[in-house]
Amino acid sequence: MHKKKPITVVKIGGNIIDDAQELKQFLADFAKIDGLKVLVHGGGKSATKMAQSIGLVPQMIDGRRITDAAMLEVVVMIYAGQINKDIVAQLQANDANAMGFSGADGNLIQSDKRNHPTIDYGFVGDVKKVNTTLLETLLNSGIVPVFCAITHDKNGQLLNTNADTIASELAIALSEFFEVTLSYCFEKPGVLYDAEDDSSVITKMNPELYAKLKAEKAIHSGMIPKLDNCFNSLSKGVQQIKIGHHKMLQNTNAVCTTIEL
């Protein structure tokens, strides 16, 4: 059996997206990653700012955004437009031949509108399938795909979709053809024992420790969906998962959290 080619899927989020200098440094580091790579980005704070500037009141439940029709217009404009194109342009400046995508482009990521028994999330999508055939063609043509957090339902409806989940679903789909490393980058050095103390990094996280910390309510609520995605990805073929500051992309000795089964 021939060895699978390595590929790196990186999700960038948190305050790095809003900090021009940090973003610039991250994209320089990302562009230097050897071999095939995919970037997924969020952009929540910019969307919230834009929404507030036009009089919309953003609504969140358990760290997840409620997306009504007006908010969907804002997130599509910010995620698929401004942030995505800015990132693509900066990657081109770093000699990475990037192309920006929503899930609707080339039917790359199809979702179902979330159907929750008690909460109406509005135009929010849960990933249903990834078009790996096209994605593989793009990657093998030397393209660096850059995905924003917008997918579609194949009936003409765009859907706001959690960027951590998109990264996880892309990584799982690609693991059929590639040896996948998934990295979640944000402004912290990893998953922390104490959210206020950046030196309290949990360097290895396994399901037992995760269950214990969740039971003790010792994990920041925003980190729970991310970690759930991580364990799901590892159980479905993703080779390696790291969470931490983007320094870890170019410095193998940088402190970060490695997720293990």
Q: What is the pLDDT of residues 155-184, one digit of tens each?
A: 999 999 999 999 999 999 999 999 999 999
Of residues 114 and 225, more confidence is placed in 114
In the predicted model, is pLDDT for residue 151 greater than 90? yes
Q: What is the mean pLDDT of residues 74-80?
A: 97
For position 1, what pLDDT does the model report? Answer: 58
pLDDT digits (tens, 9 = 90+) for 79-118: 999 999 999 999 999 999 999 999 999 999 999 999 999 9
Q: Provide the 10 A C-beta neighbour count for residue 185.
A: 25
160 labeled binding residue: yes
**Residue 122 binned pLDDT confidence (cut-offs 50, 70, 90):** very high
* Residue (of 171, 211, 210, 167) closest to 186 by Cα position: 167
Does 15 show up as a binding residue in the annotation?
no
Q: What is the pLDDT of residue 235?
A: 96
Enumerate long-range contacts of 83-89, CB under 8 Å, 24 or more apart. Answer: 83/17, 83/41, 83/43, 83/46, 83/148, 84/41, 84/146, 84/148, 87/23, 87/27, 87/39, 87/41, 87/146, 88/146
Please check if 43 is assigned to a binding site: yes
Domain with 226, as residue range(s), is: 5-259
Taking the whole predicted model, whether its pTM rises above 0.85 is answered as: yes
Encode pLDDT of 177-219 as tens digits: 999 999 999 999 999 998 889 999 999 999 999 999 999 988 8
What is the distance between the alpha carbons of residues 256 and 247, in angstroms, rounded to a whole number?
9
- Across the chain, mean pLDDT equals 94
Q: Is the dihedral of CA 81, 161, 13, 139 positive or negative?
A: negative
Residue 11 above 80 pLDDT?
A: yes
Report the relative pairing of strands 59-61 and 109-113 from DSSP bridges.
unpaired
Cα distance from N-terminal residue to C-terminal residue, the chain: 25
- Express as a percent the part of the chain with pLDDT over 90: 86
The answer, yes or no, to whether residue 141 has pLDDT greater than 70, is yes
**81 annotated as belonging to a binding site for a ligand:** no
**Interacting residues of 144 by C-beta distance below 8 A, sequence separation 6+:** 37, 38, 39, 91, 96, 97, 98, 99
Overall number of domains in the chain = 1
Residue at token pair 């940088």: 254
Tell me the CA distances in angstroms from 122 to 66, 125, 231, one per residue in order: 6, 9, 27
Q: Domain of 74: which CATH number?
A: 3.40.1160.10
